[in-house]
Amino acid sequence: MDSSAANATRERSNSTSSSSSAGNSPISPKPRRNSAGLFASLEQTKRPTDPASIARRQSLHEQRPTPGLFGKMWNTWVRGVPPS
């Protein structure tokens, strides 16, 4: 590398994005909207909270077979080793 390229690299000024991201969080113009009220009916339709639905989900969860060799390896890799 010649000396002019080395000088150009050293003399390069900081960019606006790198200097503004050095420990500073970006300032958003307005806060995020809370859309929980808009999607409450969708959530209620997909996951009803009545006791029969809760019991049905629990029953299906209990009927699920235990994972095999690859399932155990996958769960250990993805979820980590469970605390003992």
Residues 6+ apart with CB under 8 A from 75: 67
In a domain, 1, yes or no: no
Domain that holds residue 70: 39-78
In a domain, 31, yes or no: no
Answer yes or no: pTM beyond 0.85: no
Q: pLDDT tens digit string along 16-75? A: 555 555 555 567 678 877 887 888 888 888 888 889 988 988 888 888 888 999 999 999
Query: Long-range contacts made by residues 59-66, C-beta under 8 angstroms, separation at least 24?
Result: none
* pLDDT at position 42: 86
In a domain, 51, yes or no: yes
Place of tokens 């639905």: 53
Please tell me the total count of domains within the chain: 1
Q: How many CA atoms lie within 13 A of 60 on its CB side?
A: 5
